[in-house]
Structure 1
């Protein structure tokens, strides 16, 4: 539902399916988490990667793939929206 962001111009292109996402959710993708996810890819905000997709999978990876979680766009989005639950050990 999103094209990769253009980090040089800070442009994010959303597909119309983005409009049908829930506003927020701790368990699944939402408009808020998707927007934050994309913004974290910009080099001057965080330079994050897509190592693990989906908020639910990011939460599961906290205990097993901690190095990926710290630079993962969905993990960062989850942390911004929902707090420490995405970084707890």
Structure 2
């Protein structure tokens, strides 16, 4: 799904950070990693300035390593810049 479609699907009032949070939560909720969604997450992280996290997601996606992806997602959940309420 393109970012523009995602914005429309989630409501036009959604911010970039809310979409980023949604993507992280969606990846966590899946039984099996969706590598395509993880790749999109890496692009969004890079656009937001989270270059280190973006590189880690890209590496986990390239290697199709679910443990590495889970570790990055846990770090992102703990990040107060992305999830201020956590």
With normalisation by structure 1, the TM-score equals: 0.30
Q: Which has the higher strand share?
A: 1
